Amino acid sequence: MINSVLFVCTGNTCRSVMAEYLLKHHAEKKGISLRVSSAGVGAFSGDSANKHAVDVLAELGIDAGEHRSSLVNPYLLEEFDLVLAMTESHKYQLLQAAPHLKERVHLLKAMAKTIENVQELDEEIEKSYNVSDPFGQSIEIYRQSRDEINSAVKKVLQNIIVGGKR
């Protein structure tokens, strides 16, 4: 279970700040308790968030005006279950500093795409691996159901004959 997330970019004034505050916002709206923070591989600790980052978050009702940047370090990385980097370069730098944490460090967009792919696969499995129920529908739907079942039955039989050598 993931209870804490750290976002990492370069200066911890733009991208990682927006990611931190957006995730906090969405988690709070869903009633999810999650520790979220951000840091930068080249941050000057104590810098304010970039004005544009603060402004675009404010457009969504999110206040990031009090944010102060932090420099990432191996000890900070240890504190988080999941570390999401903005670029491959950031990820590389994090893994150079803490190679033993490679299972925790990912690219933000790569993780999002992986989750999307898994969800699409789940939906595809739901659609393609369940035999549709034609009850109460037209004769054409019954034909589609018959063809769907026929195709699967032939494959199962082929496996029984070839696989079981009967």
Run of H or E including 49:
none
15 is catalytic: yes
| Residue 33, helix vs strand vs coil | coil
Catalytic residue among 9, 55, 122, 166: 9
47 is catalytic: no
14 is catalytic: no
Residues 26, 105: contact at Cβ < 8 Å? no
Q: Alpha-carbon Rg of the chain, whole angstroms? A: 24
What is the token pair recorded at 163? 């696989």
Catalytic residue among 15, 55, 81, 122: 15
Residues 41, 73: contact at Cβ < 8 Å? no
Catalytic residue among 81, 104, 133, 143: 133
Contacts of 50 (CB under 8 A, 6+ apart): 13, 14, 17
Q: Which residues are catalytic?
A: 9, 15, 133
